[in-house]
Amino acid sequence: MRFSLLPNQTVFFDLLEESSANLKQASTELLDLMENYENVEEKVAKIKQSEKKGDDIIHQIMTELHKAFITPLDREDIAILGERLDDVVDCIEEAARYMIEYQIDKSTANAKHLSLIITFCADVIVKSMKLLKLRGSKLQQLLPLKDKLNELEDEADRVTSQAMAELFNSYQAIDIIKWKEVYGQLEGATDRCEEIGAILEGIVIKHG
């Protein structure tokens, strides 16, 4: 394997931006699935394509990390950022896939709300990845975005709690099991987004 002492310093930023754009695409597709619950198999297949693209991007990130001797950020931060971005898309894909596998015939208001929150998280993350290449005190611009991810995750927790209460009050046992899995993946997506915020805060502390 050929190592580069002076690697292309933009490659990691470019790949992280590409991953965040793919996350935004997947979140948009998820929201469309939940809000317009028709042509479900076709929509889930599109989300699967986004998940596959995410896998390809994280593979590229890891390959570049193995090739590079010097990286613009700590290599551990680059790796875990790439992994968490991929994790969010994985959660989205699993939630969408469960809608088919569990033969769920319609969406719910809470599923739509959680999906909307995920798109808001994706918007924040896209902005964050564009700021990563800044230097010094300019990196402080990431902190309000980290705070926003925390707020969105808190909102998702509230919606999930409400959704679970409705399940146990109004649904049959089999449907409770199905929706508990779907809601778990949707909430998991927002949890991973909050973790991205924590990683960004760490980068600010180290480099800002």
pLDDT along the chain (208 residues), means of 10: 51 97 98 98 98 98 93 95 98 98 97 98 98 90 97 98 94 95 98 98 91
Residue 131 confidence (pLDDT): 96
CA-to-CA dists, residue 5 to 8, 65, 126, 135, angstroms: 10, 12, 29, 21
Instruction: Return the bridge partners of 206, or none.
Output: none
Residue 148 confidence (pLDDT): 98
Domain spans in the chain, listed from the N-terminal domain onward: 11-207
Residue 6 confidence (pLDDT): 42
Residue 208 confidence (pLDDT): 74
> Do the Cβ atoms of 198 and 146 come closer than 8 Å?
yes
Residue 8 confidence (pLDDT): 57
Instruction: Return the bridge partners of 68, or none.
Output: 4
CATH number of 11-207: 1.20.58.220
Residue 135 confidence (pLDDT): 85
